[in-house]
Amino acid sequence: MKSTSCIRVFADTEHIQHCQTHLSHVEPVLQSLASLLALAGNEVRLKILFLLAQGQQLCVCDIADVLKMTVSAVSQHLRKLKDGGVLHAHKVGQTVFYVLSDRHLPILQPLLTGMSTTTTRQIAP
């Protein structure tokens, strides 16, 4: 029976199968990488990550003030980031501080510091 997909004259079936098995080996890695990148692929969340990458820890209020956003909206983004293991929270009194977690730092750090070399460094004299 005819498949619905494209039937090329030069369809290299062997090559395609090789690609499929190759892909299947890295599938779980790609899957988790995709969800990590999806988290970082949102401007608001990327800004949050950038802020936290400056070394400081910030509370929800701080971030909301900096980004000029609702505390609620920020909190929801933080939740996603926390669920993704990108950051973790610790409570001091009634304020919750957020810090980048080590878990995905190897991937995130280069992304976040990569731009510092180009545009940051306005602070130092």
Partner DNA sequence: ATGATGTTTTAGCTTTTGCTTAAATACGCA
Partner DNA sequence: TGCGTATTTAAGCAAAAGCTAAAACATCAT
- 1 lies in the binding site for a second copy (CB under 8 A): no
Out of 50, 53, 57, 75, the only residue in the binding site for DNA (CB under 7 A) is 75
The DSSP output letter for 55 is S
- 8 lies in the binding site for a second copy (CB under 8 A): yes
- 43 lies in the binding site for a second copy (CB under 8 A): yes
Stretch that binds a second copy, among 15-23, 76-84, 96-104 (CB under 8 A): 15-23
* The Cα angle at residue 106 between residues 101 and 110, in degrees rounded to 5: 110
Tokens matching residue 115:
């731009």
- 107 lies in the binding site for DNA (CB under 7 A): no
Shortest Å distance, C-beta 101 to a second copy: 18
At 51, the amino acid letter reads: L
**Using an 8 Å Cβ cutoff, are 38 and 86 in contact?**
no
Short-list 18, 97, 91, CA closest to 51 = 97
The 10 Å Cβ neighbour count of residue 68 is: 6
Residue 89 binds: one of a second copy, DNA, none (C-beta under 5 to 8 A by kind): DNA
- 73 lies in the binding site for a second copy (CB under 8 A): no
d(CA 98, CA 101): 9
- 80 lies in the binding site for DNA (CB under 7 A): yes
Q: Which residues bind DNA (CB under 7 A)?
A: 6-11, 38, 42, 44, 59-61, 69-73, 75-80, 89, 91, 93-97
